């Protein structure tokens, strides 16, 4: 089964988390301006879907996936999306952000792990085991936001949506920016976090 996850810049965003596999991403352009992002995702189980209201402070809503409209296959989800771009004579376009659903998996290399930057179109890189998350992002253009790189500013707050068990122990500096609920949900400060196995990270 497939669902469509919607994000509207400046209003809310819907995150890919455990139980959801991103397949395709699309931008919705209205007279040339991006008004929404859509991700077609495959449901694996019955996960809760995190929808973040982009207010200050952000409001996190956990929506049971049973409330989302389901599509039996990818084509049905695409057809539903395409119907959005037909509205009278208006200049509306849907632009696909990922040319292909899934890249073939590279064979694992000894001593290397995979990091998937979910908020960067699912970009996947291989780095040395025990790499620092922010440094890996910088080297590989992963896109995690940052300022200080020293655990002070809070900018690099991110969420390890898969593979949290591969992250090292939470540091005291991280606790200055993250409460217990956020830590339990997989939030970390990228500049303070080292990973010893495959992880997927969003922000
Ligand atoms: S970049 Fe400032 S806390 Fe990580």
How many angstroms is it from 48 CA to the middle of ligand 1? 28
Ramachandran assignment for 127, one of left (phi > 0), alpha (psi -120 to 50 degrees), beta (any other): beta
Tell whether the model's pLDDT for residue 120 goes beyond 50.
Answer: yes
The pLDDT confidence band at residue 101, using thresholds 50, 70 and 90, is very low
How many angstroms is it from 19 CA to the middle of ligand 1? 29
Among 96, 121, 149, which residue terminates a domain? 96
Q: What is the pLDDT of residues 149-181, one digit of tens each?
A: 999 999 999 999 889 999 999 999 999 999 999
- Report which ligand 1 atom has the smallest distance to the Cα of 190: 4
What is the span of the domain harbouring residue 167? 112-202
Domains held by the chain: number: 2
Among 96, 121, 139, which residue terminates a domain? 96
Q: What is the pLDDT of residues 35-57, one digit of tens each?
A: 888 989 998 888 888 888 877 76
Among 153, 171, 175, 187, the mutation site with the greatest number of ligand 1 atoms within 8 A of its Cβ is: 153
How many angstroms is it from 155 CA to the middle of ligand 1? 5
Report cis status (omega within 30 of 0) of the bond before 57: yes
- Report which ligand 1 atom has the smallest distance to the Cα of 173: 3
The protein residue whose alpha carbon is closest to atom 3 in ligand 1 is 151
Q: Is residue 102 part of a domain?
A: no
How many angstroms is it from 17 CA to the middle of ligand 1? 23
Whether 141 and 182 share a structural domain: yes
Whether 63 and 116 share a structural domain: no
Whether 156 and 193 share a structural domain: yes
Whether 84 and 36 share a structural domain: yes
Whether 7 and 83 share a structural domain: yes
Q: Is residue 88 part of a domain?
A: yes
Q: Is residue 52 part of a domain?
A: yes
CA distances from 80 to 2, 72, 101, 169, 187 (A): 11, 12, 17, 43, 33
pLDDT value of position 89: 67
Among 69, 96, 123, which residue terminates a domain? 96
Residues at CB less than 6 angstroms from ligand 1: 146-149, 151-156, 189, 191
Whether 122 and 167 share a structural domain: yes
How many angstroms is it from 149 CA to the middle of ligand 1? 4
Whose CA is closest to 185, among 154, 164, 156? Answer: 164
Whether 8 and 47 share a structural domain: yes
């Amino acid at each position: 089964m497939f669902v469509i996850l919607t994000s509207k810049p400046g209003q809310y965003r819907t995150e890919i988390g455990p139980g959801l596999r991103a397949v395709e991403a699309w931008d919705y352009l209205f007279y040339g301006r991006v008004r929404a992002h859509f991700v077609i995702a495959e449901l694996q189980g019955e996960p809760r879907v995190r929808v973040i209201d982009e207010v200050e402070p952000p409001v996190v809503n956990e929506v049971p996936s049973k409330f989302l409209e389901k599509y039996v296959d990818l084509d049905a989800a695409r057809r539903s999306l395409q119907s959005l771009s037909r509205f009278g004579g208006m200049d509306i376009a849907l632009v696909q952000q990922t040319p292909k659903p899934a890249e073939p998996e590279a064979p694992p290399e000894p001593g290397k792990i995979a990091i998937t930057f979910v908020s960067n179109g699912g970009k996947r890189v291989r780095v040395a085991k025990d790499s620092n998350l922010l440094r890996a992002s910088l080297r590989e253009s992963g896109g995690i936001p940052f300022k200080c790189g020293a655990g002070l500013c809070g900018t690099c707050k991110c969420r390890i949506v898969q593979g949290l068990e591969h992250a090292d122990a939470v540091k005291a500096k991280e606790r200055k920016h993250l409460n217990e609920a956020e830590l339990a949900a997989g939030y970390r400060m990228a500049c303070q976090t080292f990973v010893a196995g495959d992880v997927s990270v969003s922000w």
